[in-house]
């Protein structure tokens, strides 16, 4: 994005959009209403390049989230199918779950669906591991 555009383009409440487009068009001759699109449920408008950056960031977030979930599948199998729980630290598991819940809250605050979904699903998946470990340890004691 043009350096001047970076200083001018920002989130604008819907009520002020017409005035903002007029002011921006005067400052940036190449800017017009096609460059602004609505994003999210909070009636905020963003520049088209900013929307593309958001889409790219969310896509990368989803890919990272899926990879993080795949990493826990072998642990679920170890605990639930092979009934092995040795070496699994419950304090570590609960710390990870707490961190994932906090990341989910952060995702809600910044309105990032990839952060919300990936961390919430990971917390549930790791909670399943924790439940299996607790169940196995109760059976063996």
pLDDT in tens, 91-127: 999 999 999 999 999 999 988 888 999 999 999 999 9
Which distant-in-sequence residues (6+ apart) come within 8 Å of 33 by Cβ? Answer: 21
Q: How far is CA 14 from CA 26, 31, 39, 99, 117, in A?
A: 19, 18, 11, 35, 28
| Global pTM exceeds 0.85 | no
58 or 44, which is more confident: 58
- Percent helix / strand / coil, the chain, rounded to 5: 75, 5, 20
Q: Delineate the domains of the chain, giving CATH numbers in brackets.
A: 3-51 (no CATH), 57-140 (1.20.1280.290)
If we measure between CA atoms, which residue out of 131, 69, 59 comes closest to residue 100? Answer: 69
Among the residue ranges 13-17, 40-44, 52-56, 93-97, the one predicted with the least confidence is: 40-44
């Amino acid at each position: 994005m043009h350096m001047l555009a970076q200083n001018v383009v920002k989130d604008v409440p819907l009520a002020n959009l017409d005035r903002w487009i007029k002011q921006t068009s005067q400052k940036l001759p190449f800017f017009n209403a096609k460059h602004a699109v609505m994003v999210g449920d909070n009636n905020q408008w963003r520049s088209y390049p900013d929307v593309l950056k958001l889409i790219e960031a969310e896509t990368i977030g989803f890919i990272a989230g899926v990879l993080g979930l795949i990493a826990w599948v072998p642990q679920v199998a170890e605990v639930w199918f092979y009934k092995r729980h040795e070496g699994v630290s419950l304090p570590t598991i609960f710390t990870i779950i707490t961190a994932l819940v906090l990341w989910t809250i952060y995702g809600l605050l910044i309105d990032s669906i990839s952060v919300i979904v990936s961390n919430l699903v990971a917390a549930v998946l790791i909670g399943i591991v924790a439940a299996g470990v607790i169940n196995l340890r109760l059976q063996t004691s």
